[in-house]
Chains A and B, each alone.
Chain A
């Protein structure tokens, strides 16, 4: 659908584009973190691109990624099973930004893979203010820091909360209560 966007990116940035795919009508480009700001500026300002509308910003935690097809084996062509690597330095998180152009009516998704120990990505909130709160949400729930964000603090959860709950290793029902009735007994 917007194959020319992917082609233009590949032509201009070469091997900063690690991988591209076109799934179910979406064009996705996996880019290197160092070039993310340059790629974002290009997408925003270039007259053939003109991506002016931010759509969403989120992250995928690949810790338990184990694709299954029919009869249990992973189907061909899908992203391989996650390999944590020695010292847990596999590329655990994929930060996704979805952009749209109002004038040209094309869409693109930019992804950037980061390690758990070094989960930082340059912030795009200065370019598209619509990403402001969404980056805070990604920081809150996944723990990914956005360098250059003007006010990176938790947005959904309270400051006393320890941990980042949407990570796959955070148990769903682990509560951290702030206040309980004094006469309640037991673990709630």
Chain B
């Protein structure tokens, strides 16, 4: 019975989370122009609740990695991700952030997921704004189901904690 209540509460919380994502646009390169277009009036991102960019990782819960991540940028990205509070989600915007794109060289990291776990990958160079909105809806479904990496990690840690407490 208690599980029914908590899972309903969890669903309600996820419903609230998915419609009020505060993005941290980690903009590096050309995809930033398409990110600006998505936030602009024509392909409005505000309709999906993800309007406010919060330029402090402490206040954001969606890290959008927009553009190529290089090896020099890696520690900065790791630090920004670590500073975000749970639950947090990551979108790799563009093919450079997903797999490195057509930059296969000594400085472009082959994807941002070398450094942090990514929930949704958006291919495209740069992706069309409609693709970005599709990815946002996909992420919202994941948030509702509780399937994001960070949410699963929290559940896993909770299960481990309870198992340890049950042993003692």
Q: Do chains A and B touch in the complex (CB under 8 A)?
A: yes
**A residues adjacent to B (C-beta < 8 A):** 156-158, 165, 170-181, 184, 188
Query: Given known contacts A158-B71, A158-B72, is B106 in contact with A175 (CB within 8 Å)?
Result: yes
- Shortest C-beta distance, A137 to chain B (Å), equals 14
Interface residue B109 (Cβ < 8 Å from any Cβ of A): yes
Query: Given known contacts A157-B72, A158-B71, A158-B72, is B114 in contact with A177 (CB within 8 Å)?
Result: yes
- Shortest C-beta distance, B52 to chain A (Å), equals 29
Indicate which residue in B71, B104, B110, B115 contacts A172 across the interface (CB closer than 8 Å): B104
A160, B117: Cα distance in complex, Å: 25
A174, B114: Cα distance in complex, Å: 16
State whether B74 touches A177 (Cβ < 8 A): yes
Across-interface contacts of A173 in B (CB, < 8 A)? 104-106
Across-interface contacts of A178 in B (CB, < 8 A)? 71-72, 74-75
State whether A181 touches B113 (Cβ < 8 A): yes
State whether A165 touches B106 (Cβ < 8 A): yes
Q: Please, which residue of chain B has its CB at the minimum distance from the CB of A172?
A: B105
State whether B110 touches A188 (Cβ < 8 A): yes
Interface residue B107 (Cβ < 8 Å from any Cβ of A): yes
A165, B74: Cα distance in complex, Å: 19
State whether B109 touches A177 (Cβ < 8 A): yes
State whether A176 touches B71 (Cβ < 8 A): yes
Indicate which residue in B106, B109, B113, B117 contacts A174 across the interface (CB closer than 8 Å): B106
